[in-house]
Structure 1
Amino acid sequence: MKTKLILFFLLCHTAIYAQPFKFPVLPESGKSAESLIPSNWKIIDSISGDLNNDNIKDFAFVIEFYRPVKENRAYGDNETELITEIQKPRILAIYFKRSAKGAYRMATQNNNFILRSEEGGSMGDPLRPLAIKSNKLLLSFEGGGNWRWILNYQFKYLDKDWQLTEANNYTYHSASGEMNDKQYDFVNKKRKVISGKINDTTASNETFEQPLTVKSLRTFNSFKKPWTWEISPDEFL
């Protein structure tokens, strides 16, 4: 009888953990940051600042699940989920405030864009601190090995959506100092590329600018995650 009970609980445990992972729907509003966080999740980064140009501080944060689960993550393709990984899911959440003493109100929840702790290569967790500048939310990631990469994205709340207005793809070799800095201005549709050495002056590095042909601005909904937007052949952001 005891053996049967042990087997029963083991089967139940396995069945529970075999279920597909479902992201929670965060609260539409809350009086405090703590009231917005579901159980088994924790804040790993957060920032306050004005994100909708009303001179009232809003709140953005990244939360992480307490244990690894199976996740389908896109690599090099913005539409197809290619690789199943076991890692801790993350959520980006943004809440607005209508008044300084008012409640937080949901502006967006994104379950895909934030890179997970295992997606930075040999450098470890790629997530860098959130920032707010000129009413824009800045998301930054860094990773790689000998060749390292830094990705910066600026999202602005425009026309009731979060649109990618600027981005930066910076790669460099940790030993040789070779670097390539691609800067994208999606509003003015310009692309600047700087290549050369990390320690060289701006004047000694090679710089060129060209028009950026994009049909429309990407948003959190249309930009699955970093490295999945092929801006031009073999050029990913």
Structure 2
Amino acid sequence: MLEFMKFNVLLLIFTLIYDQGMSQNIGGALPDFRGQTIETLRLVSGWEELLSVSGDLNADQKLDLAIVLESTEDMTEGRCEECLATKSKPRVLLILLDMDGQQEVILQNNEFIARSDEGGMISNLIPELKIDGGILEISYEFVRSEVSYYFKFFDADMQIVGAKTNGISAGSGDSHYQEFDFYKGIIMSRSGNISGENESNTSIKIKEAPKGISDFGRMFEWEVAEGIFL
């Protein structure tokens, strides 16, 4: 009897450990690149540079970098609570600042950059990166819509300062445009039709405080005002 109880206890412990390990592998832990330099990043196996942009991000007159790395291997990821885990090549956004002549990773986000298969009718979705006036822009162009996010350095973190979305409905020709201003805390929303009819303009208050770039999840998961997601 004692041996049977011991066996069941061991079986329970094994099951808990196995289940925990499996749950951690869904969307598996990605490498922590923070603290690495641009030189060491180029030596990391299993990852390749998808795109990058350079410019001064923190107003110190030095060249900084924003880089998107993509895994060379498929990994199992659960990209949202309701989503089934699927295989894809994870993408990681890295922000590197010039630290005494070496560009070093200080910020990392594993979720925000869309995977290649998340573009709807676009077979390989790739973002566009720009740095202008210390502002990092991350934008996507879909078949009938576009979205852009704007980030700026504040207190050793990059926070969202603005965003823009626009799109056109293929069937009706209805159009919408939204401009998010996190300085003022408002959304300027314009809707209408490509015919020029039924145009309307509204101002909506943003209910959320600006997020740091490391805190972003997937696109359009963050509800910044009632029924409005970024």
Q: What range describes the TM-score normalised by the shorter chain of this pair?
A: 0.7 to 0.9
Give yes or no for the alignment of 1:233 onto 2:229. no
User: How many residues were matched structurally?
Assistant: 205
Aligned in 2, Cα 1:180/1:229: closer, same or farther, shift over 3 Å?
Answer: same
Report the TM-score, using the length of structure 1 for normalisation: 0.77
Alignment of structure 1 residues 70-219 onto 2, 5 Å:
70-74=76-80, 80=81, 82-99=83-100, 102-143=101-142, 148-174=144-170, 177-198=173-194, 206-219=199-212
Which one has a bigger Cα radius of gyration? 2
Q: Output the CA distance in 2 between the equivalents of 1:236 and 1:94.
A: 24
Q: Is the contact made by 2:185 and 2:206 (CA closer than 8 Å) also made in structure 1?
A: yes
Q: Is the contact made by 2:206 and 2:225 (CA closer than 8 Å) also made in structure 1?
A: no
Q: Secondary structure at the match of 2:121?
A: helix
Q: Output the CA distance in 2 between the equivalents of 1:122 and 1:208.
A: 30
Q: Output the CA distance in 2 between the equivalents of 1:81 and 1:138.
A: 29
Q: Secondary structure at the match of 1:35?
A: helix
Q: Output the CA distance in 2 between the equivalents of 1:222 and 1:205.
A: 38
User: Percentage identity across aligned positions?
Assistant: 31
Aligned in 2, Cα 1:221/1:46: closer, same or farther, shift over 3 Å?
Answer: closer
1:26 to 33, 36, 54: 33
Report the TM-score, using the length of structure 2 for normalisation: 0.79
Q: Secondary structure at the match of 1:118?
A: coil
Q: Which amino acid aligns with 2:53?
A: I
Q: Is the contact made by 2:47 and 2:69 (CA closer than 8 Å) also made in structure 1?
A: yes
Q: Which runs of 5+ in 2 are unaligned?
A: 1-21
Q: Output the CA distance in 2 between the equivalents of 1:174 and 1:35.
A: 46
Q: Which runs of 5+ in 1 are unaligned?
A: 1-17, 75-79
Q: Output the CA distance in 1 between the equivalents of 2:221 and 2:34.
A: 29
Aligned-pair distance for 1:28? 1.2
1:35 to 10, 25, 40: 40
Q: Output the CA distance in 1 between the equivalents of 2:149 and 2:214.
A: 15
Q: Output the CA distance in 2 between the equivalents of 1:192 and 1:120.
A: 26
Aligned-residue RMSD, C-alpha: 2.4
